[in-house]
């Protein structure tokens, strides 16, 4: 799957395109880990081009969120989450673990 | 009646999704419902590969979709370990983030998305998961 | 002229639309002053919808830039400057006083 | 030959710009050159209002555009204070930001943009600025 990352002064932007399922979730995790293992814990995840996410994908986000929020050092926020994905997070009872922004600019500007 | 068999690999998930998507297309679910059905199927197939077969490449997943005017019945069959979902306790996600145990949302989603789910392990070693979604 | 401002955590975004000439430059100055007088000195000026700027408009930007950069407390950066405006700044010999970004996201992310 | 008179107010600047833009349209300058001519005209008119008239509402600006196949000649007339641009020293902008004196780019721009500029104050109290831009 296509994943791009971009480093800003105060946060990193990760954008994934396509399906995040058991097959592709590891690639997303690698992208996040490349950032957190570099000691940066403020991440914006742009989901505008994510067409599908399963619980396995959600767990990758939440493992990353745990890493980011530990010691109050950061946050993983999500931008451009479509209704269907938002509904999935909500049904699973996991929506509350994320700050969600309407667009990437708002999300980057929040750090 | 749509029926197809897929190798029990994570790569098959996108194909199974495509297959189910085509099958339920004609019944005219709203976009969100159609999408959520694909989530349930993905969760179920992931569980088959991960838990019933204990990993990729151990066996096939057979998927069939029965479409009537006002419902779809999706059946998934595998020949992995038998399983009784009623033995799985409901996970508690209303905990602080750092205490969150990052697993166990799959069955929750399947149950919340589908109107009926039934799991049976047959004597000849087949596991049959039937999921019904009404319009 | 249409001017909108938006406050982010680390900077303020100002967007003006239309002509910035002797007639409208005071409105732009007011928008910047509302921010700097509030004690915020990191500003992104989005020029994507600015169709024209005269030297009077450029001076407003530079007076604001002086205020922002004083005591090293901030910066006025510009985003989405079209070629013609860039050429004007260049001809006047005033281009070097600004950090210029290709888009607002880059600019906001730079703070 | 395009000719129009505008009140010496900053509000007129957009209208003068429109007027000159229409006039030079037919000669087919590239977009940037056409735009830069409008910058020069804006700078000159701002100076007339601000410096020749000493403020808004003190008199008119007459603008004419002579368009030939390969050049435009723009003439601006006012009846304000006479002025000799050669007496204005060139500003130095190559200084640190905090030492920058925020004025004096108008004449610089006019001179750099136009191919020829000529300023005359006639005995009957008219100031005539002629600016030529060749294709
Ligand atoms: N098809 C299956 N075969 C065997 N065990 C299963 C199956 N599906 C689910 N399970 C068991 O139920 C548990 C909960 O499943 P699920 O809610 O999908 O979460 P997860 O797969 O993330 O653990 C699994 O951890 C597993 O022990
Ligand atoms: N039409 C004019 N009539 C009288 N004085 C003028 C005129 N144009 C320019 N000047 C003088 O020349 C100076 C430089 O003009 P300019 O480069 O346009 O910068 P600014 O108007 O920002 O001072 C002005 O400050 C003014 O003293």
Closest to D93 in 3D by CA, of C70, C89, C83:
C89
How far from the centroid of its chain's Cα atoms is residue D29's Cα?
18
Q: Check residue D64 and give its pLDDT.
A: 98
Structure tokens at C63: 């007076």
Residue D76 main-chain phi, psi, to 5 deg? -115, 130
Q: Cβ contacts (< 8 Å) between D94 and chain C: which residues?
A: 93
Q: Cα(B2) to centroid of ligand 1, in Å?
A: 26
Q: Cα(B80) to centroid of ligand 1, in Å?
A: 13
The complex scores an ipTM of: 0.85
At what angle are helices A83-92 and B106-113 packed, to 10 degrees? 110
Radius of gyration of chain D (CA): 15
For chains A and B, tell me whether 3 or more CB atom pairs sit within 8 A of each other.
yes
Tens digits of residue pLDDT in B111-123? 999 999 999 999 9
Asked if residue C35 lies in contact with residue C67, where contact means CB atoms within 8 angstroms, the answer is: no
DSSP state letter for D115 = S
Q: Check residue B1 and give its pLDDT.
A: 85
Cα distances (angstroms) measured from residue B48 to each of A60, C16, D24: 20, 56, 73
Tens digits of residue pLDDT in C51-60? 999 999 999 9
Asked if residue B41 lies in contact with residue B65, where contact means CB atoms within 8 angstroms, the answer is: no
- Which ligand does the CA of B8 lie closest to? 1
Nearest CA to ligand 1 atom 20: B104
> Structural domains in chain D?
2-134 (3.30.565.10)
What is the secondary structure of A11-78 as a DSSP string?
A: -EEEEEEEEESTTTHHHHHHHHHHHHTTT--EEEEE-TTEEEE-HHHHHHHHHHHHHHHGGG--EEEE
User: Chains meeting A at 3+ CB pairs closer than 8 A?
Assistant: B, C
- Where residue C4 falls among pLDDT bands split at 50, 70, 90? very high
Closest to D8 in 3D by CA, of D64, D78, D83:
D78
In the predicted structure, residue A58 carries a pLDDT above the cut 90:
yes
Shortest distance, CA A76 to any CA of chain C (angstroms): 16
> Structural domains in chain C?
2-109 (3.30.750.24)
Cα distances (angstroms) measured from residue A39 to each of A3, A68, A98, B18, C109: 20, 10, 20, 39, 18
- Where residue C27 falls among pLDDT bands split at 50, 70, 90? very high
Q: Check residue B26 and give its pLDDT.
A: 84
Tens digits of residue pLDDT in D112-126? 999 999 999 999 999
pTM: 0.88
Asked if residue B117 lies in contact with residue B129, where contact means CB atoms within 8 angstroms, the answer is: yes
Tens digits of residue pLDDT in D22-64? 999 989 899 999 999 999 999 999 999 999 999 999 999 999 9
- Where residue C93 falls among pLDDT bands split at 50, 70, 90? very high
Q: Cα(D99) to centroid of ligand 2, in Å?
A: 20
Q: Check residue D82 and give its pLDDT.
A: 95
Above pLDDT 70, what percent of chain C? 100
Q: Check residue D1 and give its pLDDT.
A: 85
How far apart, in whole angstroms, are the C-alpha atoms of residue A36 and residue D129? 64
Shortest distance, CA A23 to any CA of chain B (angstroms): 5
The answer, yes or no, to whether any atom of ligand 2 lies below 6 A from the CB of D103, is yes
User: A39 Cβ partners below 8 Å, 6+ apart?
Assistant: none
Q: Check residue D26 and give its pLDDT.
A: 84
Mean pLDDT of all residues belonging to chain D: 96
How far apart, in whole angstroms, are the C-alpha atoms of residue B3 and residue B41? 14
Q: Compute the average pLDDT of residues C52-80.
A: 98
Tens digits of residue pLDDT in B19-46? 999 999 989 899 999 999 999 999 999 9
Q: Check residue A50 and give its pLDDT.
A: 98
At B129, is the secondary structure helix, strand, or coil? strand
Interface check A103 vs C, CB under 8 A: no
Radius of gyration of chain B (CA): 15
Mean pLDDT of all residues belonging to chain C: 98
Shortest distance, CA C4 to any CA of chain D (angstroms): 21
Above pLDDT 90, what percent of chain A? 99
């Amino acid at each position: 799957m296509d994943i791009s990352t971009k480093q800003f002064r105060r946060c990193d932007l990760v954008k994934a395109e396509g399906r995040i399922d058991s097959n592709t979730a590891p690639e997303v995790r690698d992208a996040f880990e490349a950032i957190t293992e570099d000691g940066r814990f403020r991440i914006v995840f742009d989901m505008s081009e994510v067409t599908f996410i399963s619980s396995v994908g959600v767990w990758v986000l939440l493992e990353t969120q745990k890493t980011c929020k530990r010691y109050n050092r950061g946050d993983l926020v999500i931008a451009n989450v479509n209704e269907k994905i938002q509904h999935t997070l909500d049904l699973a009872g996991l929506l509350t673990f994320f700050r969600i922004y309407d667009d990437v600019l708002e999300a980057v500007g929040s750090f | 009646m749509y029926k197809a068999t897929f190798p029990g690999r994570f790569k098959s998930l996108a194909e199974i999704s495509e297959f189910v998507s085509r099958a339920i297309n004609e019944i005219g679910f709203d976009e969100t419902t159609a999408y959520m059905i694909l989530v349930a199927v993905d969760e179920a197939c992931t569980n088959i590969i991960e838990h019933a077969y204990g990993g990729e490449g151990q066996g096939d997943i057979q998927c069939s979709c029965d479409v009537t005017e006002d419902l779809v019945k999706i059946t998934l069959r595998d020949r992995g370990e038998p399983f009784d979902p009623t033995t799985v306790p409901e996970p508690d996600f209303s905990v602080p983030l750092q205490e969150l145990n990052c697993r166990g949302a799959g069955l929750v989603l399947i149950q919340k998305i589908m109107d009926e789910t039934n799991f049976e392990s047959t004597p000849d070693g087949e596991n049959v998961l039937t999921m019904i979604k009404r319009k």
